[in-house]
Structure 1
Amino acid sequence: MIGDLVAGELDAPFWDAWKADETFLLHRCATCGRHDWPASCCIDHGQAPMAWVPTSAAGTIDTYTIFYRAYVKELAGDVPYVVAVVRLDEGPYFHTRITGIAPDAVKSGMRVRVRRGEGDAFPLFQSE
């Protein structure tokens, strides 16, 4: 875990589901089906009803950075580590760490899936 998780009111359902049973939710417009992260209103339908829905919890690495220095003390034992922007299959981008693979093996375009390790408060992704 990195620091204390502080969920905003709009995103609280995402974090509650993640903590309870590792379900990876996205906010979806009831009119067009567009998924958003973080919680927001639909860019096409404004205040149309939105709902939190389960997702594939998978995507493709769009871009990434390998950190050779820990910028937070909780990651000091994990250097080097990868932070990536994952384009989820449903469309939105999600910033995350990539685990379970050597940092130099990570590539843009790589398929990844959400995972949770013991004690991880944040969704992590690993190679499919």
Structure 2
Amino acid sequence: MILESIENGPLIWPTIEENGVTRPRKYSELSATDAIQADCDVKVTNTTLQGLPPEVYALVSNHRIAKEHWERIKLLMQGTSFTTQERECKLYDEFDNFAYKKGETLRDFYLNFTGYYNDMNI
């Protein structure tokens, strides 16, 4: 159902007619399947937004529908595999040239080292 939210868009809430007025059903009035789909719509939107880099999040967070998020993210992330390879090469080069700098404390040296190490693991 989560994948369905991304591929087909959110649940179109069923309507109900009361006193000659048509309104969308409340969450409590949805069938079990529709309620699960509505929950999935919210989960996929939140999950999609949480995994984004800040610069991409800023560009897509104004969309409310996961399908719109996904389409916009695909467009923004085109070519990131090349960018990722470039970043990885740069990081390995920086690590290979990593050395103690005169006047640097042992703590600063350790923090720089662990920073490079953690970035390489990520």
TM-score range for the pair, normalised by the shorter chain length? under 0.3
- TM-score, length-normalised on structure 1? 0.24
- TM-score, length-normalised on structure 2? 0.24
Structure with the larger strand share: 1
Structure with the larger helix share: 2
